[in-house]
Structures are given as structure tokens and as C-alpha cells.
Amino acid sequence: MSIAFIPNDPRSTTDLPPITITPTPNRPAARAGFNFQGAVAQKVYQPDTREFLFWQCREAVLRAIGTFESLAGNVSQWARSPNRSKLSVDPIFNGDPSMVGSRRLNAYYDGDGLRFFDFKVHAKPFFSGMSTDTVAHETGHALLDSIRPDLWGSVFPEAAAFHEATGDIMAMIVALRDAATRARLLTVTSDLSKPNFVEANSEYLSEGIRLQFGNVAPSQPRRALNQFKWQLPTTLPAGTFNDPPGKLTAEFHSFSRVFSGCFWDVLRNVFAVLGGGEPNLSRAVEVTAKTFLAAARAAVHTQRFFQEVGRQMVLVDQQNNNGQFREAIKAGFQRHNVALGTAAMLQPAAALAGEGVDISTGRLPKLAIADLKRRTGATRLSVVPHAVVGAEAPVARAQYKREVPLDTIHPKLKGVVAVSDESVLIGASGTRAAVLGAMPMADSADDEVQTFVRSLVDADQIQFEPLPTRRAAMGLVAAREAKTSDAPPVTHAVINDRGKKVLMRLRFFCQ
């Protein structure tokens, strides 16, 4: 039996009207799947109804994970849901009183599920789960979490922004894997250089926000075709909900546009290399998406995460495509002021103490480990072998945690720390271990962590009162937000972790 489906975004129906399709089958039992809430009979329903919403949301979720698996391999389990084999999908989530009615035009991934909401703005109904863009974005968070769970709690601005960019990129990839979408896109822009309905993300949600709040940051869709240039996050304004849409700030949704811009320009460049036309656009999407997802999996978690992913894309391209798109990738990143230069990432930068090293097994002398802890300020440190595409000698990855005090940022953060998970590549230089690329600078990293937290404070996205668990914090956050429709969505909370007050992420919001 058929269903009606909007393949992109409800605001893009003039480009791609609803179609009638056979829905995607349920997930195989051996793979990570979903518990879809609020099921209704399978049939063709009219848009803007709750019945249509269920099948629209379900189809968008399954297309997103199917697209991901065709490019990056099967997903066997989720990163942090109580049941690792299932993730709840709520087309209308009633478990969070802060999001009922017209209180919040949003959607989120909280580790347990994908949550979507219904709104009414000036008597007009909105359903965030009705947008394939929005659903694919939130599913993108969960999919990235499944391959890079270490990025969930990152307190580096670029890693948090990368999570948001990945959501937007997944929405674009899902759209572009559809042949009708590609054909229609090429009638709008034959070389992907003009604004279009694919590179614009979640137009429907932005319309609702614009009607409710006016000209605020998310009242215009984030666009991957943009002119934003990378700069140190510490040199950008923190960013708030009330900023104008075109302003670049350190707030992670805003800053994410730098990386999504890199991705779109790499796609444009790869498409140009292949020669244009719909078949070549299909090939360009596959090449760019596969390269991006492989790089996202391999990239070392550092302050300069945008650059790290770009460098990995060059290495993946060398392995998979014999370097055919090397210059296309480098030019796409350079357009947004992200210089790559992959050779430098494997050059020894600083020798560590101690003689005798076996990089292939991740074994470092005790003196080398002590030296690395001293230089980085690490509280805990482990070393594991690390595969780097194209490396001529073995490489290891040192993973370590540092506690960054937040006392100076806000009085309610006195005694609170952010735990920064960081990594550095280790190789051999003669008989000694050596840091590759560049020695991390703890002071610089602390500045960026504090910039990230300051942006959360300025946007009022922290629940300050310490609680014993993430679930308890989620309950308090929901109660707080339910009191007023103007309460901003909270993404982080202070948690009591074994007697220590620690800042912890609760969820990723779409807007």
C-alpha cells in the first residue's frame, strides 16, 4: 500500500511536490533500528495532518539511515540509548512539557531518541517531523554519534559545530540521493553555484520561527552555499538567539555553516571535475559523501577539527580515487579559509622523553607518557594504534582528558569543570616517540573550551543547579522550559559526577 511523501522540505513543494511511494521496509533485525511512536494505518494521507506526519517522519528516518549505510557501512547499534538496538522516534513527543503547543519550534536528539514536536503559530500548525530536512538532520546526529561517540561531549567549538554541520550535510545527501531531486536541482543551477532548495536547510522550521520571533538567528535557513570564512572561535562573538541570521558567531549552529560551506564547495568542485549532468551529479554526491563520512570516522579529535576532517578527506581520496579529487577538496576548504596541507600532519613536531618505542602496538616508554602528560596537562591518558590512510610508518593516537575550570565564566559555574577529551598523533623519530603535526597547547585549548561555554551561557543553554544524573537534569530542564514559551532550549547541565561538578551535554537541538 502506498503513502504520500515530501522528499525535501514542506517549504520546497514548488520544487518537489508530494509524491506517492511504497514506504521503505522495516529495518533488518540484526541492525540498529527504531521504535516509531504513534503508528497509524498505512495509506495516502493529506499533508498537515497527524496521520501524514507519521509516515512522512518514518520514511525520512529510514531514508537517512539507508543512505548512510550505503555510503559508510551498516549501523549495528546506537551510541547511548538504553536499548542499543533501538532508538525511539517520536513524530510528536509528549514527554517534554517544554515543547508542547507553540512553545518551541524545534526538534532534538538526546541519545535516547529523535524528538519532534507540533506547534501552532498565529493559528497555523507546524510539525517539525514533517520536514525531511529536519528529520534527516536529527538522524544525522544519531548516526555521527554511532561512529564518533567521543564527539558527543566535546567542549571544542569546532567539534560541536561539526556535529551540527553533519546534520545539515546528511539532509543534503539524503535529498541528493533521490534522482528526481537531482534532476530538478539542475534546472535551478546547472553547476550548483546558485542558491537552491537543497543547500538550504529546514526552511519550514525557519518560517515558523520567523512568524513567532521575527528576524532572529534561526529565522532564515542555514545555507551551505555561503561566503563564511573560518577564523579562530575565540575571536568571534559568542552568539545568541536574537542575532541577525547573517551574522557568524561562535554559537555552534552559526559556526557550523563554515564547515557545511566547505562540504558544498567540495561537492561543486567534484561535480565540475566529473563534467556536469545528472549522472555525474549522482557520482559526485557518492564520491563526496563517502569521502566525508570516512574522514569523519578517522579524524582525530583536536581543536582544529574542521582542518583535521579536510585533511583526512584528502587522504581518503588518495586511497579510494588515486587522488583524482585532491585539488577539488583542497580548493573547497580553502574557499572558507581552511588550509589543509596533509603532509604536515604526519611530520614529527616534538620528541618525547625515553628511549625504545613500538608505535605499531601503541607502546610508549613510561618516561614518554609522563612527558606527554606534563606537556598536555592530561589527567588520564591512553595510547592505541591508529590507522592513517597513506602513512608510510605506524602511527598511534594518544587519547587524554583534561579538566578545564569554568569559575571565571559565570558565578554559577564556580567549582565546575568541563572535561575536554583530546587526542594527538604519535609516531617514531629514531628510537624515540614524537608528537606528529604540532604539540597541543593547553592554554590555547582552554581558551576555546571557555569560548564554547561562554556561548552557552550567553544563549542561556545551561541548567546550573547540579543534579546527580543526566535523566534528572532532563526532567528539571523540561520543568523550567515549560514555565514560559520564551525559555531558550537547554543543551547542557551541571552534573554531580563522583563528588565533582561537571558540565555535561544533554541533547542536540536542530535550531
Q: C-alpha cell of 425?
A: 598523533
Residue 330 domain flag: yes
433 and 352 Cβ atoms separated by less than 8 Å: yes
- Tally of structural domains, the chain: 2
- 217 lies in the same domain as 125: yes
User: What percentage of the chain exceeds 70 in pLDDT?
Assistant: 94
**Tens digits of residue pLDDT in 321-332:** 999 999 999 999
**Tens digits of residue pLDDT in 80-132:** 988 899 999 999 987 555 554 444 578 999 999 999 988 888 888 889 999 99
The whole-number average pLDDT for the span 12-37 is 92
What type of residue is 269?
N
Give the predicted TM-score (pTM) of the model: 0.92
**Tens digits of residue pLDDT in 169-213:** 999 999 999 999 999 999 999 999 999 999 999 999 999 889 888
Which among 287, 324, 330 has a CA at the least distance from the CA of 312? 330
- 256 lies in the same domain as 159: yes
- 329 lies in the same domain as 358: no
**Tens digits of residue pLDDT in 428-478:** 888 888 888 777 777 888 899 999 999 999 888 888 887 777 777 776 666
pLDDT of residue 87: 97
Q: From CA 127, how far away is CA 131, in angstroms rounded? A: 8
Angle, alpha carbons 83-87-92 (nearest 5°): 135
Residue 388 domain flag: yes
**Tens digits of residue pLDDT in 354-394:** 887 777 777 888 888 888 888 888 878 888 888 877 777 88
CA distances from residue 241 to 348, 459, 481 in whole angstroms, order as listed: 43, 7, 15
Is residue 285 pLDDT above 80, yes or no?
yes
- Which of the given ranges, 211-225, 455-469, 478-492, has the highest pLDDT on average? 211-225
Is residue 253 pLDDT above 90, yes or no?
yes
- 80 lies in the same domain as 128: yes
In sequence order, which residues have a C-beta less than 8 Å from that of residue 414 and are 6 or more positions away? 407
CA atoms within 13 Å, Cβ hemisphere of 12:
30
pLDDT of residue 344: 72
- 227 lies in the same domain as 349: no
- 95 lies in the same domain as 196: yes
212 and 194 Cβ atoms separated by less than 8 Å: no
Q: C-alpha cell of 414?
A: 564556580
Residue 448 domain flag: no
DSSP letter at 24 equals: P
Residue 503 domain flag: no
507 and 111 Cβ atoms separated by less than 8 Å: yes
- Which of the given ranges, 134-138, 355-359, 507-511, has the highest pLDDT on average? 134-138
Q: From CA 282, how far away is CA 299, in angstroms rounded? A: 26
Q: Among 293, 315, 339, give the residue marking a domain's end.
A: 339
- 334 lies in the same domain as 348: no
Is residue 17 pLDDT above 90, yes or no?
no
Phi, then psi, of 27 in degrees rounded to 5: -65, 145
The residue range of the domain holding 265 is 3-339
Q: From CA 349, how far away is CA 347, in angstroms rounded? A: 6
Which among 183, 211, 208 has a CA at the least distance from the CA of 197? 183
